Amino acid sequence: MTTTLKSLRALADLTRLRIIGLLERDEISVNELQEVTRMGQSRISTHLGLLQESGLLQSRREGKRTFYKLNQDADGMTREMIQLAVRAAKELPECGADQVNLRRILTRRSEVAQVYFNQVAGRFDRSYGPGRSWQAFGHLLLRVLPPLVVADLGSGEGLLSELLARRSKKVIAVDNSEKMVAFGANKAKKNGLKNLEFRMGDLEAPPIEAESVDLVILSQSLHHAGDPARAIASAHKLLVAGGQIMILDLLKHSFEQARELHGDRWLGFAESDLHHWLEAAGFKKIEVSVVAREEQAPHFQTLLAGAVR
């Protein structure tokens, strides 16, 4: 088969066009392509192999990782095909989300601190150390937090709010369940937490004065919102200049039973969804990443998103 026919055959697949579009900006590793596309490694490797065999891609090894990029040494005909494929990739429905995820990954690649944290997190559960636990680390980190005014939106009974109130200047816990608010308020009173206030309210219109909060937290609550984008936009209005939002929620999944079992409106979110909504609300310095993976079915994964007003 001629090189031209091989290239045409390789570009006849929409997934391979998608990969070509992602490689337009920079070289990308197989793992990074997995994170962007949410496809399995074997599937991605098969597509990459066909594209490289057709002369459309080049690769290089760096330790255990393989990076791929568009073939810079391609002949005239192949270069034209690559350019055509890049244009076609921009018409694919996945293009917008792919570019958001790619931008996030390329930004994170340059952040040495994040790389180090990932390495530490990967070692943590594999080696036992007496007295070393996430619970202990959590208390340590709380001790070094500055005295902030915090809004815990979708607080439930207020477990996180209670922990934060022990170090924060003030915590406002908002939930739309009258029973949850009453329970949380009574418990805060029993524990003598005078700086913890519970309020009835909705994520999309929290009963908090504009520009009065240093930190907004949405911990496993955004997937209960009717309109997550509006909830994030409302959070932006609560923050003072330089204030931060932190979102913990599930990565998009297919466990439909969560709607009935837990009352979830949304089956998690894609990284690109959170990034897009934060950007649209006016947030800067946006970071979104997977920070936890459950080993048991249905293997939920947790996203952490952070941004600054």
Q: What is the pLDDT of residues 26-70, one digit of tens each?
A: 899 998 999 888 888 889 999 999 999 989 999 998 888 899 999
Q: For residue 137, what pLDDT is reported?
A: 73
Q: For residue 127, what pLDDT is reported?
A: 56
Q: For residue 123, what pLDDT is reported?
A: 57
Nearest CA among 174, 224, 230 for reference residue 204: 230
Q: For residue 113, what pLDDT is reported?
A: 46
Integer Cα distance of 85 and 153 in angstroms: 45
Q: For residue 114, what pLDDT is reported?
A: 53
One DSSP character per residue, 87-99 reads HHHTTSTTHHHHH
- The segments of the chain whose pLDDT lies below 70 read 1-2, 110-134
CATH number 3.40.50.150 is the correct assignment for the domain at 129-308: yes
Cβ atoms 176, 207 nearer than 8 A: no
In the chain, which segments carry CATH 1.10.10.10? Answer: 3-109
In the chain, which segments carry CATH 3.40.50.150? Answer: 129-308
CATH topology of domain 3-109: Arc Repressor Mutant, subunit A (1.10.10)
Q: What is the pLDDT of residues 83-123, one digit of tens each?
A: 999 999 999 999 998 898 888 888 777 665 455 555 555 55
Q: For residue 107, what pLDDT is reported?
A: 79
The pairs formed by 250-258 with CB atoms below 8 angstroms and a separation of 24 or more are 250/220, 250/223, 250/300, 250/301, 250/302, 250/303, 251/290, 251/300, 251/301, 251/302, 251/303, 253/298, 253/299, 253/300, 253/301, 254/298, 255/298, 255/300
